[in-house]
Amino acid sequence: MKPITPENLNNVVYVDDVRISPDGARVAFVRQSIDGAANENVRAIWMKDLSGDVPAQPFTSGRKDSQPRWSEDGTRLGFISGRDGEPGIFVLAMSGGEAHGVATHPNGINSFEWSPDGKRVAFVASVRMDERAEEDKAKNEGAMREDADKQKDAWARKREKEQREHDDTLRFDPRIVHEFPYRTGTNFMSDRWSHVYVMEVPDGFTDEHKAKPRRVTDGDVNHGQPDWSRDGQALIGTLARRPEHTDIEYWEDLIRIPLAGDENPVERLISTNVSHFHPQVSPDGQWIAVQRIVEDRPEFRDVTLAILPVGGGDIIDLTSSLDRSVNDFVWGRDGAHIYFTLMKDGAVNLYRVGVADRVVEQLTDVAHEITSFDVDANGRVVFSASMPGDPAALYVCETDGSVRPLYQPNTKFLNEYEVCPVEEIHYASDEFTIQGWIITPPNFNPTNKYPLALEIHGGPAAMWGAATRSMWHEWQTLAHCGYVVFFCNPRGSGGYGETFMAANCGDWGDGPMRDILRGVDLVVARGYIDTEHMVMTGGSYGGYLTAWIVGRDHRFKAAVAQRGVYNLISMRGVTDIPYFNDRETGVSPWEDINRLWQLSPLSLAPNVQTPLLLEHSELDYRVPISQAEELYLALRTFKKTVELIRWPREGHELSRSGEPKHRVERVKRIVEWFDKYTKG
């Protein structure tokens, strides 16, 4: 069979956002692929019949389609698409025909949900104060802005979009900063706020039926995507309690937005020291299920699942006793159970909890990472997941607990290319038990010697496992290049409880380093590692640990530090999450600047002996590129072997969602750097 290479990233297909039709006959999902020639990530809506062996088929023809959502009667499927420029809501009738754009917004639509009767949608879009005033003026004059991008041809829409972009450019020349954070992701934050709109969706799509969206929230504050009350008279959503922090710092209250009349006073259902998000109303309309997190040191807290009466009242926590974080959840169709996924011990499995008896049941127990799921009326679950031997597929979990594949888009690729096996290990480090994994190269012979490639995750509260989707291709590529790959979840990782997650507070370096290197020692003790040719890499917090380890330990022949934090003093002043920085380190620069310097890999620059490749994105506003520039300059000053790769147009998510050519090139350069020092 063929070896997996960096270029094979273009061959891997992913599936996400699973939605079962109301009649349980089919499932809609997002199929993600790469067009290498166009250097584009492609997303389309696909459909799979659940009652037979009919192959999955594409349902939309766009390249930027996502978020499939069924109308409650199952006759129509709505989705978000950027095919005409800014993302808007499109609808396809299941009886056939073309997709019709039913809702647009000059600034794009972020998300939406159907009303229970299928006659309206609620969506979220960002809008400035003066734009809100213009909307209100048009409404008062009796004619909302004719939404009327729909009545203009593509050329006119393109010109208007260019004009808006030009006007925005002039508005920010110069840019006057008066909010915080003022940049995140890969962009400076605009002066627009996320607001909720409600709009009627016509049964037909003739020119006589032009929907006019109505904004139902106001103010300089961000709203999350709401769900509908069952009677359609209100929306249940979230509101940022501290507008200056946005949703980066949590602080979200659960709210009710009444829809009767022109005035829509927002009613806070819960406003405490706990943030609430992703509300979903139960099928009988009696309960709101919501995820929540304690705001006191949230970096070290689990996300739990809770319910409360739809009119407000005492909240009932359903999962805090599990001491693990809930990833996602959905109501069962009969309202008797809530189904959810849980981060636990290197895997993301499926669970459910009874609303009446509060009993939690585990439905799957596999070393997989479930990324999305939905439940039909009979309790059958369809989910997308990665497995150690398959990076992405669609599965069905029957009511008897049996799991079978439903759609495997990577079958052809996996039949041609060899997948290296993954072994799980456990070992002791101080008072902790550490979980790790080993991937061995093709034709592995334990009597031979192999170079070791150590991989370190970020977060710090991320959790890796045997089937981590975002790393599957990179790990397999390194194994096929002849490396034994080792990775683990050191103290501070998620998935092992709050005590474990908080164990690296104020100790980002030495404690986690011991956990990792003891795992390396365990693998070396097996006798098949060439200890003169060991290499390592990590990203974000993993980049921090990579630089920390090469400053304290000299066993590695080469290292690659990706998008890492290297100076905790300056990081506090340039990141979009400085309070995260304070809570993780346990101190701010004004309290103990010397302590932050002692915790910074930059302080260890004179001790580094390992050839180090730094790679960083130029538009990374989570860990700005100045972090890499500081370490690069320091290592050059001390005449160390170091190189710096700067990725244009990319942010902190380069390795997961960057331009395909950059993602392929990134893995190639990591392999080349390792090979240079292990294979000459």
The pLDDT of residue 157: 65
Report how far residue 213's alpha carbon sits from residue 66's, in angstroms, rounded to the nearest whole number.
Answer: 21
The pLDDT of residue 169: 76
* pLDDT band at residue 243 using 50, 70 and 90 as cut-offs: low
Mean pLDDT of the chain: 91
The pLDDT of residue 249: 61
User: Is the confidence at residue 30, as pLDDT, over 70?
Assistant: yes
Lowest-confidence region among 5-9, 136-140, 507-511, 614-618: 136-140
* pLDDT band at residue 262 using 50, 70 and 90 as cut-offs: low
- Where does 382-468 have alpha helices with state H? 411-416
Report how far residue 611's alpha carbon sits from residue 636's, in angstroms, rounded to the nearest whole number.
Answer: 11
278 Cβ contact partners less than 8 Å away, ≥ 6 residues apart? 224, 238, 290, 291, 329
Report how far residue 256's alpha carbon sits from residue 239's, in angstroms, rounded to the nearest whole number.
Answer: 10
User: Is the confidence at residue 145, as pLDDT, over 60?
Assistant: no
Q: What is the per-residue pLDDT across 294-332, written as a single tens digit (0 to 9) for each?
A: 988 888 999 999 999 998 889 999 999 999 999 999 999
Tell which CATH classification among 3.30.470.10, 3.40.50.620, 3.40.50.1820, 3.40.640.10 matches the domain 420-678: 3.40.50.1820
**Strand 347-354 relative to strand 360-362, pairing:** antiparallel
* Contact status, residue 358 vs residue 376, Cβ threshold 8 Å: no
* Contact status, residue 618 vs residue 648, Cβ threshold 8 Å: yes
The pLDDT of residue 165: 73
Phi (first) and psi of residue 252, to 5 degrees? -115, 130
Domain residue ranges of the chain, discontinuous segments joined by +: 420-678
The pLDDT of residue 220: 86
* pLDDT band at residue 206 using 50, 70 and 90 as cut-offs: low
Q: What is the per-residue pLDDT across 343-365, written as a single tens digit (0 to 9) for each?
A: 999 999 999 999 999 999 999 99
User: Is the confidence at residue 387, as pLDDT, over 70?
Assistant: yes
The pLDDT of residue 188: 78
The pLDDT of residue 146: 47
Strand partners, 415: none
Report how far residue 465's alpha carbon sits from residue 240's, in angstroms, rounded to the nearest whole number.
Answer: 33
CA dihedral of 44, 407, 6, 462, whole degrees rounded to 10? 90
What is the SS3 assignment for 229-273? CCCCCEEEEEEECCHHHHHHHCCEEEEEEECCCCCCCCEEEECCC
Phi (first) and psi of residue 456, to 5 degrees? -130, 130
Report how far residue 433's alpha carbon sits from residue 579's, in angstroms, rounded to the nearest whole number.
Answer: 30
Report how far residue 109's alpha carbon sits from residue 102's, in angstroms, rounded to the nearest whole number.
Answer: 12
For residue 161, give the nearest of 84, 99, 53, 236 by alpha carbon: 84
Neighbour tally for 283: CB within 10 Å: 16
* pLDDT band at residue 248 using 50, 70 and 90 as cut-offs: low
Whole-angstrom Cα Rg for the chain = 26
Residue whose token pair is 């139960």:
282
Q: Going edge to edge, which strands form the sheet with 100-103?
A: 65-70, 76-81, 88-93, 100-103
Q: Please report, rounded to a whole number, the percentage of residues in the chain having pLDDT higher than 70.
A: 94
Residue whose token pair is 């060439």:
530
* pLDDT band at residue 211 using 50, 70 and 90 as cut-offs: low
Which comes out higher in pLDDT, residue 186 or 537? Answer: 537
The pLDDT of residue 203: 77
The pLDDT of residue 143: 47
Report how far residue 47's alpha carbon sits from residue 45's, in angstroms, rounded to the nearest whole number.
Answer: 7
Q: Please report, rounded to a whole number, the percentage of residues in the chain having pLDDT higher than 90.
A: 75
The pLDDT of residue 193: 86
